[in-house]
Chains A and B, each alone.
Chain A
Amino acid sequence: MAQRCKITAVYNTPMVDYISKTDYAQFVKDLRRRDPSAITQLYNTYADRIYSLVFHQVGRNHEVAQDIVQETFVAALKSATKFRNKSKVYTWLCSIANNKVSDFYRRQKRQAKYQISEALEPDQIGDETLAAATTEPTERQEDAKQALLSLPLHYRQVLIFKYIEEMPVLEISKIMRRSPKSIEGLITRARKELRAKLATASEG
């Protein structure tokens, strides 16, 4: 069972739940009962993906990502009994993680001790950063990284869901709790802003 749930490719197979369909219904039932084996299965299947998602949303900070992932799974288990299988488990987890990231930034703003960009210094705690991360970034990639980080949170989130997670608009709308039409508009605005920032960076 554990073998079947192992993540084989994170980004190459977008929006696939890595649990077979027949097992899925049982898995959801067990999850609602908060069965320990279902929890282990949930965690082993999605923890890395959720971590990666959060890590890029919070400006590549492992410490903050760890806190948010922990909060996400704790909240997921608390509300597991209410999960009605209307969306995929991954979508449900993304939605919780998304809220936790927003909460984090809201808390930061309220505390106003320091600016977000200063507070979220990227670090290198994770020991399993995959191959692509180890290569030296080009100037263009560096510009893109900075541009993405300087975008408003909801722009960054929607771009990550659209281009990195390769989620359909409907799925994103469930996660961000907006209408599909509004998500389409948000993607357009976020893309425009990113293009402008990249153009400014390359000119400067």
Chain B
Amino acid sequence: MAGFISEGEIRELLKSVCPPVAPSSEFKDQLLQDLTRGAEGAPRRHWRQPRFLVPIAATLISVAIGYGIWLGQAAQATLTP
């Protein structure tokens, strides 16, 4: 044993001491349930996210203000003899 341990031996040894292990089925079922439930509650539509919603709202407000200004000018032009 004191001799050199080859790479192949290391591989075999490690594989024998670290065999594949699976979690308990209760744990697996519970975690899957939690994950899918969490995903269902998560935001899924891009346009609902703040980074999309803020520019959309800003655009709408700008359009409304612009329309108001235009309307004011148009009314003034109509009333002016």
Contacts and interface: CB of A to CB of B under 8 A. Distances in A.
A39 B23 contact: no
A128 B17 contact: no
Given A141-B13, A163-B11, A164-B15, A36 B40 contact: yes
B59 interface: no
Interface in B1-18: 1-2, 4-5, 7, 10-11, 13-18
Contact of A148 (B11, B17, B20): B17
A51 interface: yes
B71 to A, nearest CB: 42
Given A73-B35, A140-B1, A191-B7, A126 B13 contact: no
Contacts, number: 122
B39 A126 contact: no
Query: Chain A: interface secondary structure?
Result: helix
A118 interface: no
B42 interface: yes
A40 B34 CA distance: 11
Given A34-B44, A40-B36, A69-B31, A140 B21 contact: no
Contacts of A145: 17
Interface residues of A, number: 51
Contact of B36 (A36, A140, A148): A36
Nearest to B1: A202
A48 B31 contact: no
Interface of B: 1-2, 4-5, 7, 10-11, 13-25, 27-28, 31-32, 34-36, 38-40, 42, 44
23 contacts: A11-B20, A34-B44, A47-B23, A48-B20, A48-B22, A48-B23, A52-B18, A52-B22, A55-B21, A66-B23, A127-B24, A127-B25, A129-B19, A137-B17, A140-B13, A141-B13, A144-B13, A145-B17, A164-B14, A194-B10, A195-B10, A198-B1, A203-B2
User: Nearest 5 A-B pairs (CB), nearest first?
Assistant: A132-B19, A202-B1, A128-B22, A10-B20, A56-B18
